[in-house]
Amino acid sequence: MIAIESIRSFFRGRIAEKEPLAPYTSMKVGGPAQLFLEPKDRDDLLALVQFLREQAIPFMMIGRGSNMIVSDEGFLGAVIHLEPGLSRVSLFEGDVVAEAGARLTKLVDFCTQHGLQGLEWAAGIPGSVGGAVVMNAGAHGSEMKDYVVEVEALRGTSVVTVRAQDAGFAYRTSAFTRDIVLSARFRLRSGDREQILRKKSELMARRNATQPLTLPNSGSMFTNPPGMHAARLIEQAGLKGKRIGDAQISEKHANFMVNLGSARAADILRLIDLVRRTVHQNTGILLQLEVKLVGFPEDVMASLS
């Protein structure tokens, strides 16, 4: 039992019980969070996390839910959503500082308005700043790590400022997987607004041409093995278009799975398992999940991670 009244006594943000998580994810699947919390501001968040830790209540962060599959049973514990309360983007000493809940699109638009170039590649990534920093999101040969100067995070009970070189950034991961990212500071170059806009729309058009963006999806399901493309391996395994329930391996991009309407997380999990087994049988390569699994039994998560 979560002591919701105790939380209400100090928490100033929104609290919802049994909040369905599907609408908060880009795949649009998943059951409810036992408790869903939207801190009003940073102090509210810090007090909340301290309380949850003291009470040993399991909790997790959700950004834009664009890199996670939530189980049909949902998450037994508290889910913390930062967008409403912590999503400011501002200029500070010539750098751009973005709070973790800000959408990447808001960050990129802010940079464009201020004639700052560098992050155009991130325009089509539907994540939050926090999720993108934790995942070291990247595209078109660039990654977050190329533009982040420092990250502010809650690590254990301390708020720490971590310089980019100490942030453990690597392909789709970072040293922040057990922390709460609070904000990130980006260093960008001055550029011509028209040129920045042109580059953004060029890269967005490329995405539209190659990704199934009209259906709910979670982006790339698997990381690319060194020197290879997961999509090609899945395609070579003859799995493009394969469907289980309403979950389908996209016809347009084999490393994307799409929700055709009423897919369940269990269908997606079965497709993931099928892809991994088939590609492994064919090539000896065991694909690793890029997406994070949330609320599945430990043994399922361990067998797929």
Q: Which positions lie near ligand FAD, rule CB under 6 A? A: 26, 60-68, 82, 100, 125-128, 130-132, 134-135, 137-139, 176, 180-181, 211, 213, 217-219, 292
Closer to ligand FAD at the Cβ: 118 or 126? Answer: 126
Residue partners of 293: CB distance under 8 A and separation at least 6: 68, 69, 71, 269, 300, 301, 304, 305
Catalytic residue among 172, 187, 207, 270: 172
Q: Distances from the Cα of 192 to the Cαs of 106, 111, 112, 282, in angstroms?
A: 19, 11, 9, 49
Least distance in Å: CB of 129 to ligand FAD? Answer: 8
Catalytic residue among 128, 174, 220, 250: 220
Least distance in Å: CB of 278 to ligand FAD? Answer: 23
User: How many Å is the Cα radius of gyration of the chain?
Assistant: 19
Least distance in Å: CB of 202 to ligand FAD? Answer: 15
What is d(CA 205, CA 153) in angstroms, rounded to the nearest whole number?
A: 34
Q: How far is C-alpha 85 from the geometric centre of its chain's CA atoms?
A: 18
Closer to ligand FAD at the Cβ: 250 or 278? Answer: 250
What is d(CA 211, CA 228) in angstroms, rounded to the nearest whole number?
A: 18
Exposure letters 151-187 (e unless 16+ CB within 10 A, then b): bbbbeeeeeeebebeebebeebebbbeebbbbbbbbe
What is d(CA 268, CA 263) in angstroms, rounded to the nearest whole number?
A: 7
Reduced to 3 states, what is the DSSP secondary structure of residue 255? coil
**Residue 152, strand partner residues:** 161, 183
Closer to ligand FAD at the Cβ: 61 or 188? Answer: 61
Least distance in Å: CB of 144 to ligand FAD? Answer: 8
Closer to ligand FAD at the Cβ: 30 or 278? Answer: 30
Catalytic residue among 19, 83, 99, 290: 290
Least distance in Å: CB of 68 to ligand FAD? Answer: 4
Q: Specify whether 220 is catalytic.
A: yes
Closer to ligand FAD at the Cβ: 116 or 219? Answer: 219
Least distance in Å: CB of 222 to ligand FAD? Answer: 12
Extract long-range pairs of 204-211: CB within 8 Å, 24+ residues apart: 204/123, 204/124, 206/140, 207/124, 210/252, 210/253, 211/252, 211/253, 211/256
Residue nearest to ligand FAD (CB): 63
Closer to ligand FAD at the Cβ: 127 or 278? Answer: 127
Active site residues: 172, 220, 290
